[in-house]
Chains A and B, each alone.
Chain A
Amino acid sequence: DQQVKQNSPSLSVQEGRISILNCDYTNSMFDYFLWYKKYPAEGPTFLISISSIKDKNEDGRFTVFLNKSAKHLSLHIVPSQPGDSAVYFCAAIFPGGSQGNLIFGKGTKLSVKP
């Protein structure tokens, strides 16, 4: 049973516009969430994280929003650039867990068109 779900396998966005990647989770015990980006033939790279005590975290062009009541988080990329084209994974951690034990979604492939 998938505890972290990314229901959109792919997303296409025009350069300069906003990209919104969504993630839903089923287990309300998760208390820490992360987004990773993955290019082909490379390992995932950490992008941004958010603790469950917050509802927003921002880092440059990347912002993650957390809606605990809806068990939903989203990653906003503004403005989107062609170099952002990659697969984006949402991940979660249980209380007491470490980043060495991540529950991942299946990923969303983002394509940013020039």
Chain B
Amino acid sequence: KAGVTQTPRYLIKTRGQQVTLSCSPISGHRSVSWYQQTPGQGLQFLFEYFSETQRNKGNFPGRFSGRQFSNSRSEMNVSTLELGDSALYLCASSFRDRSDTQYFGPGTRLTVL
């Protein structure tokens, strides 16, 4: 079974630009979550989508948004990029319930110059 895939793997943007990251979950998984990893803050939860609806949201500004499509693929968008948005953005998918293991993709490394 193919794992969680994320595109692109690496991205360089400048301040003020916007960026869209993509995540394809494991086939059959309906929950997709996004996390930001930085050296200072560790892994922080951004949001979770389930069946095209945002189920949970972390404590991030409105510049961070996401969506999920009917095939469970998800996109994350960051508008008006700031230097502090430089991070590894990880996507994870799970089947449905809280007991279902979550599987992470390799991440997208975003650098904001």
Contacts and interface: CB of A to CB of B under 8 A. Distances in A.
Contacts of B55: 98, 100-101
Given A43-B90, A46-B102, A101 B45 contact: yes
Contacts of B104: 36, 43-45
Nearest to A107: B42
B102 A102 contact: yes
B43 A104 contact: yes
A32 interface: yes
A103 B45 contact: yes
Interface in B43-80: 43-45, 48, 50, 55-56, 58
Interface residues of B, number: 29
Interface string B89-105: 01010100111111111
B94 A89 contact: no
Contact of A99 (B44, B102, B105): B102
Nearest to A104: B43
Interface residues of A, number: 22
Contacts of B58: 101
A41 interface: yes
Contact of A100 (B43, B102, B106): B102
A105 B58 CA distance: 15
Contacts, number: 73
Name A's interface SS.
Answer: loop
B22 interface: no
Interface string A19-46: 0000000000000100010000111111
**Which of B32, B94, B104 has its CB near the most chain A CB atoms (within 10 A)?**
B104
A32 B45 contact: no
Interface of B: 4, 31-33, 35, 41-45, 48, 50, 55-56, 58, 90, 92, 94, 97-107
Q: Which 4 A-B pairs have the closest CB atoms?
A: A43-B104, A106-B42, A100-B48, A104-B43
30 contacts: A36-B104, A41-B106, A43-B4, A89-B43, A91-B43, A98-B48, A98-B56, A98-B98, A99-B94, A99-B101, A99-B102, A100-B31, A100-B33, A100-B48, A100-B50, A100-B55, A100-B92, A100-B94, A100-B102, A101-B33, A101-B45, A101-B55, A102-B35, A102-B43, A102-B45, A103-B45, A104-B44, A106-B42, A106-B43, A107-B43
